[in-house]
Amino acid sequence: MKRPLGIMMLDTAFERPVGDVGNAGSWPFPVLFKRVAGASAHKVVSGQDEDLLEAFVAAGLELVTEGACALTTSCGFLAQRQSQLSVRLPVPVATSSLLQIPSVSAMLPKGKRVGVITYDRASLTHRHFEEVGVCDIPPIEGLPKGGAFHGLIEGGTPYDASAMADEMVLTVKTLIQQHPDVGALVFECTNLPPFSSLISQRFGLPVFDILTLGKWLYSSQTAA
């Protein structure tokens, strides 16, 4: 029996359709979830989660004890904890889809670069990028404050796929208009993959997200 991928989850309660990191149906292999009490989206996104480090380590250890062969998380802003978690846990840890930026950048044609779509532009700092091995900060566009995604994740509003799709299209369009040299997209937010195919088809760009990261990570571990 194949060992599962372990996913350290934020302490949230919003709907997670297929495509979202927190829906088991998003993954073509077994997964285990472990919620970290007190890890609200606001706390982690704002970088005020230092006091939760031990809780994340404990969750990771529990997942490994339950059979997880590797670990990831349900929030790209946990990139800030990449080195802290990887040195404390006994299996490979990939905290954020942002870890894909160096390899995606290396694959792009000359003159093209990665663009990042994030949940909160103001909160994505140099430290997040340094932790995932990115020296030159790429073009970034954030989802609008007060929009459908922010309403769902922090405001408790119902899941509105149509509004979210429109929001994603507008956000990516803004990024590309400002940075026409963008040749691929990396979605920081783990709630964006339900719209990855739509965005790739609409703009003709490859899209990398938490699912592409998790599948790559797991592909190296299936013999474990």
pLDDT in tens, 133-143: 999 999 999 99
Q: How far is CA 115 from CA 72, 104, 108, 159, 180, in A?
A: 22, 10, 12, 26, 10
Q: Which fold has domain 5-96+212-219?
A: Rossmann fold (3.40.50)
Q: Which fold has domain 98-208?
A: Rossmann fold (3.40.50)
CA atoms within 13 A on the CB side of 187: 29
Q: Rounded to 10 degrees, what is the CA torsion of 213, 144, 180, 21?
A: 10
222 has a pLDDT exceeding 80 = no
Give tens-digit pLDDT for 160-201: 999 999 999 999 999 999 999 999 999 999 999 999 999 999
Give the strands of the sheet with 113-118, arranged side by side.
Answer: 140-142, 113-118, 182-187, 207-208
Mean pLDDT of the chain: 96
Residues 149 and 167: their CA atoms lie apart, in Å, by 8
Same CATH fold, 98-208 and 5-96+212-219? Answer: yes
- The whole-model pTM stands at 0.96
Give tens-digit pLDDT for 16-33: 999 999 999 999 999 999
